[in-house]
Chain A
Amino acid sequence: MSLLEIENLSIRYGDTAVVDGLDFELDHGESVGLVGESGSGKSQTAMAILGLLPRHAHISGSIRFDDTELVGATKETLNRFRAQRIGIVFQDPMQALNPYLRVGRQLREILVQHNLAEGSDVDARVIEMLGRVGLPDAERQFRSYPHQLSGGMRQRVMLASALIAEPDLLIADEPTTALDVTVQAQILELLEDVRDNTTLLLITHDLGIVAGYCERMLVLEKGRLVDSGATTSLFASPGHAHTRLLLAAAPRIDRADIPTPATGATILGIESAEVSYAERGRERLQAVHDVSLSLRDGETVAVVGESGSGKSSFVRALLGLVPMQSGRVVYAGAPLQGPVDRRSKAQRRDLQLVFQDPVTALNPQLRVHSIIDESLLVHEPQLSGGTRLERVIEALEQVGLDAGYLRRYPHELSGGQAQRVAIARALILEPKVLICDEAVAALDGSVREQVLALLRRVQAETGLAIIFISHDLAVVRAISHRVLVMYLGRLIELADNATLFARPRHPYTRALIDAVPVPDPVVAPNTAPLQGEVPSLLNPPSGCVFHPRCDHAIDVCANKLPVARTINGSRVACHRADELELGR
């Protein structure tokens, strides 16, 4: 008999069905991945199982958990099942934990509420659980507030709270999406270790995670189950077109068509950039320290690193959006100085930025036409309205949209369409350098592939140079000519794509590459991910900033800051760069 049986489940809001006739079963002890793009109904299904859908949701069909019907069940029944029989881990642990209660108290609550332990047993079990999820010094963390923990530690606490009542089913809804890639690898390994025989329903958009950690997978498209089966067989021979589409859109870090190196003339150079922010009552926060980079015509340089690496500060400083304390930016042979408002119009025109979140980057009060037209209005005011309209339509067509979008407001666009509008706004000025700050991070796989293809095409046609900031190394591998790796505001390694991925010279680069899940069940997941988390910029480690997390650290690493040097064409900042053999 199955643990969970879902039959003909439908969830509607008004006239819109977000889940439409869903059927599936979960057996005891198995791990199942629920995948699909945004809006496919993954999270809604999880919420329905937990009875957490909002009141105005209309739900029909049947969800039987261990032979108890959960659709239409009373609050008391649902409460008995939640936490005790079904555990949940949400995407954002900061929102799922109560900021006013100590961690220990929140976990105690679960045991006490369900009468699972009494007296001093309660605290002992909570501390034991915190230890099991890998919280160092669990007794101290028992008394911590959520804000005192790092993102990864908070997600460990979430996992502890989901598992402390020893549920039969654990639902993890995008449990690592908000985390850095190295921490993601840690949490996924931990999840696999601590769940024992608990059935796992893992909701994710990342096929790499499914390939590594799920025995079976269910593919959702627009609220319908379109494909299901063993992970290995679905990856080998996907049954449905949508599964094929998802697989095709999942970039693989272990093999990719690497772009051939660019040979154009150097167009942009940044020398020894230093960026720091004033912190009230504290020392200045050093966000970028001595980073140099040059860019050729028609070249894509990726800037990668985890949160706090300073990659966004670096490009914002070169654009003049934040002040650069020292260092030089040279564009087309002439220095670029000062804040963006003091730069000449021509200089501003040539360097354009595409933001991560198209929703905040587009003025909600303006229509698509006005948004794109404004660029022209500023730089080519002599053009007539008709000419400008033609150019705007051309720009929309260049990014795969058409004149039908001119009258729309940003909120009437999907995420992918909005990002294309943002790209069109930048490209209509025919810039020489386009800076993409996590420009594809918020997009679904298939849309991301379209946007990347668009960037490649424009580059081939116009010789555009691109700085591509990303935390996703698999995407970086597929699009960039060269890669700059940053950590805590410092240059770690700068090398061309083929060299960096095949033979990284810095242990951090190696760890980053290893942390990326590969969407192929044949490739075993990384069972020994990089430990620890990115330290605070306010209190960086001595010597080499990476040494506390580094497996290869020696005495000198803790005392002396490594200077970047050139080895076989790669810039690398590691004391042991020439002796370590990190290629695979």
Chain B
Amino acid sequence: MSFFRNRAISVSGGIILATAVVALFGPWISPNDYISTDFDRLLLAPTTTGGHFFGTDDLGRDLFVRTMLGIRVTLLVAIVASFVSLIIGVTYGAVAGFVGGRVDAAMMRFVDTLYALPFIFFVILLMVAFERNFLLIFIAIGAVNWLDMARIVRGQTLSLKEREFVAAARLTGVSTGRIIFRHIAPNLIGIVVVYLTLTIPQAILVESLLSFLGLGVQEPRTSLGALVNAGVNLMEGASWTLLIPAGLLAMLLMSFNFLGDGLRDYFDARHSS
């Protein structure tokens, strides 16, 4: 079955791609910027005049550009967090699963310990100890996201290791390195890709939560979560300040979830009949 014939993959992938392209290039063609205030046009409803497609906020800043900026930040968080979870999580999980025994037990107890940390406290602590910093959000989200990935990859590696084709390779005399790269790793790709697309919405949600709590991105920069937070305060009388960023956030989250489902079906169908 062709990759793009899967409806879930092509539709949700298309939405994500289109959103990213608009978020990247939209601000260029807009006459406005994200920081200038215009006190003649406070809380302007969405309109085409002056390019305020999404209206303005209570400081008269253009919400279209700010929303695009927010999407950029949100997607950046998603990409960085999933990259961290990919690199650390897959390596850690594969090593634990393949080596097994005591090494595995020790490595996984460490993961359990990190799991036990109350995440929000952890972030607040980081914020207090250091300056509020854009980078800290990435570190905080990345530090948590790879845990799930490590567990999943470890489990999969453990079961793959016992599969008969691995035994056959050992009997033939295939080296351990080659067994890992030729026989185990390719069989992990499906589950890793699927899980990755599912960690992205998680990371986005965590970033939104932090920004909503005021711990995330700081003014005048913004993210979808921070925009929703601002919109909540203005929703009486200026509902667009809430509905537009919230709607876009929901759309992105759902698209990533559907993409993950689609990819899982795709990988399931490809190598089992």
Do A and B associate with each other? yes
The interface of chain A, by Cβ under 8 A from chain B, is 319, 321, 340-341, 345, 348-349, 351-353, 355, 357, 360-366, 374-375, 378-379, 409, 411-412, 422, 425, 429
Q: Is A348's CB under 8 angstroms from B173's CB? A: yes
Q: Is B163's CB under 8 angstroms from A374's CB? A: no
Measured between alpha carbons, how far is A429 from B168 in the docked complex, in Å? 13
User: Which residues of chain B come closer than 8 Å to A319, judged between CB atoms?
Assistant: 171
Q: Which of these, B165, B189, B273, contacts A363 with CB under 8 Å?
A: B165
A-B CB contact pairs (8 Å), 8 listed: A348-B172, A352-B172, A360-B163, A363-B165, A365-B187, A375-B172, A411-B271, A422-B168
Smallest Cβ-Cβ distance to B165: which chain A residue: A363
Could you tell me the distance in whole angstroms from the C-beta of B161 to the nearest C-beta in chain A?
A: 12
Given contacts A374-B172, A378-B172, A378-B173, contact A363 B167 (CB under 8 A): no
Q: Which of these, A321, A366, A378, A379, contacts B167 with CB under 8 Å?
A: A321
Q: Is A321's CB under 8 angstroms from B171's CB? A: yes
Q: Which of these, B168, B183, B186, B189, contacts A355 with CB under 8 Å?
A: B168
Given contacts A340-B171, A378-B174, contact A360 B273 (CB under 8 A): no
Interface centre among B172, B182, B186, B187 (most CB of A within 10 A): B172
Interface Cβ pair total, 8 Å cutoff = 67
Q: Is B168's CB under 8 angstroms from A349's CB? A: no
User: Which residues of chain B come closer than 8 Å to A357, judged between CB atoms?
Assistant: 164
Q: Which of these, B164, B165, B173, contacts A379 with CB under 8 Å?
A: B173
Q: Is A360's CB under 8 angstroms from B170's CB? A: no
Given contacts A353-B168, A357-B164, A425-B168, contact A364 B173 (CB under 8 A): no
Q: Is A340's CB under 8 angstroms from B165's CB? A: no
- A-B complex: 8 closest residue pairs judged by Cβ atoms: A365-B186, A361-B164, A364-B271, A348-B173, A411-B273, A363-B165, A360-B164, A355-B164
Smallest Cβ-Cβ distance to A343: which chain B residue: B173
Q: Specify the main secondary structure of chain B where it touches its partner.
A: helix
The interface of chain B, by Cβ under 8 A from chain A, is 163-165, 167-176, 178, 182-183, 186-187, 189, 271-273
Could you tell me the distance in whole angstroms from the C-beta of B264 to the nearest C-beta in chain A?
A: 16
User: Which residues of chain A come closer than 8 Å to B271, judged between CB atoms?
Assistant: 364-365, 409, 411
Interface centre among B163, B173, B182, B187 (most CB of A within 10 A): B173
Measured between alpha carbons, how far is A379 from B170 in the docked complex, in Å? 13
Smallest Cβ-Cβ distance to B175: which chain A residue: A378
User: Which residues of chain B come closer than 8 Å to A361, judged between CB atoms?
Assistant: 164-165, 168
Q: Specify the main secondary structure of chain A where it touches its partner.
A: helix
Smallest Cβ-Cβ distance to B271: which chain A residue: A364
Measured between alpha carbons, how far is A258 from B46 in the docked complex, in Å? 90
Could you tell me the distance in whole angstroms from the C-beta of A217 to the nearest C-beta in chain B?
A: 30
Q: Is A429's CB under 8 angstroms from B167's CB? A: no
Could you tell me the distance in whole angstroms from the C-beta of B56 to the nearest C-beta in chain A?
A: 53
Measured between alpha carbons, how far is A190 from B169 in the docked complex, in Å? 45
Measured between alpha carbons, how far is A321 from B169 in the docked complex, in Å? 11
Smallest Cβ-Cβ distance to A376: which chain B residue: B172
Measured between alpha carbons, how far is A46 from B273 in the docked complex, in Å? 22
Smallest Cβ-Cβ distance to B269: which chain A residue: A411
User: Which residues of chain A come closer than 8 Å to B171, judged between CB atoms?
Assistant: 319, 321, 340, 348, 351-353
Given contacts A348-B172, A379-B172, A411-B273, 17 further A-B contacts (CB under 8 A): A321-B167, A341-B170, A345-B173, A348-B173, A352-B171, A353-B171, A360-B165, A361-B164, A363-B169, A363-B183, A363-B186, A365-B189, A366-B182, A374-B169, A375-B172, A378-B178, A429-B172
Q: Is B186's CB under 8 angstroms from A340's CB? A: no
User: Which residues of chain A come closer than 8 Å to B167, judged between CB atoms?
Assistant: 321, 353, 355
User: Which residues of chain B come closer than 8 Å to A409, judged between CB atoms?
Assistant: 271
Q: Is B164's CB under 8 angstroms from A349's CB? A: no
User: Which residues of chain A come closer than 8 Å to B170, judged between CB atoms?
Assistant: 321, 340-341
Smallest Cβ-Cβ distance to A371: which chain B residue: B165
Smallest Cβ-Cβ distance to B189: which chain A residue: A365
Measured between alpha carbons, how far is A378 from B174 in the docked complex, in Å? 6
Q: Is B174's CB under 8 angstroms from A364's CB? A: no
User: Which residues of chain B come closer than 8 Å to A341, judged between CB atoms?
Assistant: 170, 176
User: Which residues of chain A come closer than 8 Å to B174, judged between CB atoms?
Assistant: 374, 378
Could you tell me the distance in whole angstroms from the C-beta of A423 to the nearest C-beta in chain B?
A: 12
User: Which residues of chain B come closer than 8 Å to A353, judged between CB atoms?
Assistant: 167-168, 171
User: Which residues of chain B come closer than 8 Å to A355, judged between CB atoms?
Assistant: 164, 167-168
Q: Is B272's CB under 8 angstroms from A364's CB? A: yes
Smallest Cβ-Cβ distance to A339: which chain B residue: B170
Measured between alpha carbons, how far is A59 from B117 in the docked complex, in Å? 56
Q: Which of these, B164, B176, B187, B272, contacts A411 with CB under 8 Å?
A: B272
Could you tell me the distance in whole angstroms from the C-beta of B213 to the nearest C-beta in chain A?
A: 44
Interface centre among B168, B178, B182, B189 (most CB of A within 10 A): B168
Smallest Cβ-Cβ distance to A349: which chain B residue: B173
